[in-house]
Amino acid sequence: MVIVQLKGGFSNQTIKDVDYKELLKNGLRLEWDITHKTCTGCQESGGRCGRSRDADFVCYCPNGTNHPLICNSGGGKGSSRWKIGLGIGIGSLAIILLSYMIYLKKNNSSLKSRLRNSTSHPQSNSDMEECNVSFEVPIFNSTELEEATNNFAASNELGDGGFGTVYYGKIRDGREVAVKRLYERNYRRVKQFMNEVEILTRLQHKNLVSLYGCTSRHSRELLLVYEYISNGTVADHIHGQRANSSTALTWQIRMGIAIETATALAYLHASDIVHRDVKTNNILLDKNFGVKVADFGLSRLFPNDVSHISTAPQGTPGYVDPEYHRCYQLTEKSDVYSFGVVLIELVSSKPAVDINRERDEINLADFAINKIQKCAFGELIDPNLGFESDSEINRMTTSVAELAFLCLQQDKEMRPPMDEILEELNAIACNENAADVFAYADEGEGVVAPSPSHYDDSQLLKNMQLTHSPVSVTQKWGSSGSSAPGVDG
């Protein structure tokens, strides 16, 4: 509607009643009946203000249409704000979803990497916390050990240490040491590392290798530091690199090795520990041919209230208890079987496994049992020991072979415990009236286990308060994890 304000005393009237000629003579002023707010709303919605043919307000829009107020019926400025808010909300949600997808992808990739490599660092918390008890251990700096071993030079390599290579070194305080370096940085190797630390910090015995310490779980590498034993292994001396040297082991030395090794194993069993890898390569000799039993990576703490531990067979071919291998039941008698193989090695100078022997004799235990059952000791015992020329050596080597025969029985119940084996060895060495170690049945039904009196020191060992290795710098490692009974490593 257009309101016309007339001059010259005319009253207001509608435009169709106006005399235009007269109106134009007097002049006129048109006044649109439209508020500023209405036009502003149209302009904010992107349109242009205008009038229809009926003089009504119209908002002409860019798309060619027109609307009575604004181009978008949703409202001008409010609509824009709503659009902006919606856009921001959708954008934020998209960013959050994208970030979450990236996180899941990275996390999944990291998990796959951990499963492939078990751990990118040997000191992974999940690995290092496998210990079931807290214990203290002297801590060495990895840089010092690198210097001590000349950066683990090949010329310093001493040999294989079960789960790592062993290097000779000399640390800053002047001590000579043997440093074991892990082969691989995986769960199984780290578990063996921790197991050896735990076992050796519980024990202290003259016939067990001493643990000086190890690196921190936060160091670049996991390294074990032992006392250095300079004279190699029993295997080196009886059928290895030193076998034909001027220091070849006499029978008297071998008898001492048998007794001291039995002493160490009796101590372990009295301490409720099964070594699980008894072999001549793990029996070290000092300069006086004193024994140091080493390598406790596979050893197990044995609860007092169980007869066996169900676990997957581990050990070295030629030494593994056949009943343990067959039934997956680890007992102290598994060490007894392995020690029986060691005794046969000492009297025969033959390795536990030799593929150059006849098919039925590749395994030394089988070879020995066959010869002893036939009383063919001359075909088993090393003649270089004086078996044929010295009656006393003949007596001792034959008696030791008979004792080994009992240790090698397929039925673990037929094997004597380590304390009785130690007693028997001492009796053989002293030429005392040792108990008959076995007797053949008339129909070849097997052997009868001896029943000598219990070794006097066995109960003393049971009652001993275990001491820890000397600690200069200590760090406590521990875990709340536990190991449930079952088949494990």
93-140 confidence digits (pLDDT tens):
888 888 888 877 776 655 444 434 433 333 344 434 433 334 578 889
What pLDDT shows up at residue 128? 42
What pLDDT shows up at residue 278? 95
In eight-state DSSP terms, residue 359 is G
Nearest Cα to Cα of residue 184 among 162, 153, 207, 154: 162
**Each residue of 45-101: pLDDT tens digit?**
778 888 777 767 888 888 778 777 777 654 444 455 666 777 788 888 888 888 888
Give 16's pLDDT tier (boundaries 50, 70, 90): low
Catalytic residue among 277, 295, 382, 419: 277
Give 185's pLDDT tier (boundaries 50, 70, 90): low
* Residues 143, 162: Cα–Cα separation, whole Å: 23
Q: Please give the average per-residue pLDDT across 455-466, as a whole number.
A: 36
Cβ(118)–Cβ(130) below 8 Å: no
Domains of the chain with CATH codes: 125-228 (3.30.200.20), 234-454 (1.10.510.10)
- Residue 277 annotated in active site: yes
Q: Binding residue per annotation — 106?
A: no
| CB-facing half-sphere around the CA of 87: CA atoms within 13 A | 6
Using CA of residue 270, residue 271, residue 277, residue 281, what is the dihedral sign? negative
The letter for the amino acid at 475 is Q
* Residues 11, 14: Cα–Cα separation, whole Å: 10
213-217, 245-249, 464-468 — which is least confidently predicted?
464-468
Nearest Cα to Cα of residue 265 among 336, 200, 211: 336
* Residues 54, 40: Cα–Cα separation, whole Å: 21
Cβ(415)–Cβ(443) below 8 Å: no
* Residues 11, 225: Cα–Cα separation, whole Å: 119
The letter for the amino acid at 410 is Q
Query: How long a stretch of residues is the chain?
Result: 489
Q: Please give the average per-residue pLDDT across 164-173, as a whole number.
A: 92
**Each residue of 412-438: pLDDT tens digit?**
999 999 999 999 999 999 987 655 444
What pLDDT shows up at residue 184? 67
Q: 487 versus 236: which is more confidently predicted?
A: 236
